[in-house]
Amino acid sequence: MAFFSCKPNALPLIGCTLGFGTLLSAQIIARVGYDYVLIDMEHNPLSARESGLMAHVVIAASAGRCKSLIRIPSHGVEWIKWALDCGSHGILVPMVKNRNEMNAIVQSARYPPVGQRSFGPTMAAFADLDIDATNAKYFKETSNDVAVIPMIESIEGVENAEAICSVEGVTAVFIGPVDLRLSMGLPGGDGDEQIFLQALQKVLEICRALGRPVGTFASNGEGCRKRTVEGFDFILVPGEVALLAAGAQASLADCTKG
């Protein structure tokens, strides 16, 4: 089933970042009720050697009825191939700044005639019961539903948002608020500065006009509700690492209070 059809009438989709690369943790998170998990190969020490692990985490999440996106660490064709061939429902591609970069990503991620993705979705057949990678169905249908999601997270990316988002083969767009704010000289992941809010609004409007869903990150419930009211379609909320730290701190505080 396509990533954006998993909760058609009740957007936004809510997702949790997986950073440990461990199956047990993925299984626990996938059963909590999140709509999707984001396997983060960008900001966690999960190297190319561990790329096979992505496939197993996708399978673990899928058994919990969770969709899986993989955030790859670069625009490299090898990462795009590994992440899609293992049966994930889509890729998040960081730091996309212009149309040329987006065109190259789509070339790697889409089969002909749109792109030049090479055929070999070896693990996809095991990742999701709805995927049948062994016959023409994956090539003809499923692969078209795989989500290709550029991250807009710089001033330059916002300036070129229309050119990036309108490339054929782009499914949705994700705004990385922390890096976007850094590029604006602003701290943290949220704030009321006009330059930041106008950038969010601009990307939302462009994507509305193009019919592309827009996602972003929120570090807590208040931020999540704010972004929901603004019209974001999928939101990433605190992930595995933050949840473990918060749970451990709360438990220790509870067990040591007088």
162 vs 179, beta carbon nearer ligand 3PY? 179
Could you give the C-alpha distances from 76 to 54, 60, 62, 111, in angstroms and in order?
16, 25, 26, 16
Closest C-alpha among 182, 162, 174 to residue 98: 162
85 vs 190, beta carbon nearer Mg ion? 190
What is the distance between the alpha carbons of residues 254 and 258, in angstroms, rounded to a whole number?
9
Task: Tell me phi and psi for residue 131, to 5 degrees.
Answer: -100, 130
What is the distance between the alpha carbons of residues 43 and 111, in angstroms, rounded to a whole number?
28
Mask for 111-150, x = binds ligand 3PY (CB under 6 A): ----------------------------------------
CB closest to ligand 3PY, residue no: 176
- Can residue 215 be called a binding residue for ligand 3PY (CB under 6 A)? no
CB 71 to Mg ion: min, Å:
9
Task: Point out which residues bind Mg ion (CB under 5 A).
Answer: 153, 176, 179
Could you give the C-alpha distances from 173 to 57, 139, 217, 234, in angstroms and in order?
23, 23, 12, 10
217 binds, among Mg ion, ligand 3PY, none (CB under 5 to 8 A by kind): ligand 3PY
What is the distance between the alpha carbons of residues 233 and 216, in angstroms, rounded to a whole number?
8
What is the distance between the alpha carbons of residues 238 and 166, in angstroms, rounded to a whole number?
30
Q: Which stretch binds ligand 3PY (CB under 6 A): 50-58, 82-90, 120-128, 174-182?
A: 174-182
- Can residue 179 be called a binding residue for ligand 3PY (CB under 6 A)? yes
- Can residue 15 be called a binding residue for ligand 3PY (CB under 6 A)? no
30 vs 93, beta carbon nearer Mg ion? 93
- Can residue 178 be called a binding residue for ligand 3PY (CB under 6 A)? yes
What is the distance between the alpha carbons of residues 20 and 41, in angstroms, rounded to a whole number?
10
CB 27 to Mg ion: min, Å:
27
What residue ranges bind ligand 3PY (CB under 6 A)?
Answer: 153, 176-179, 189, 217, 236
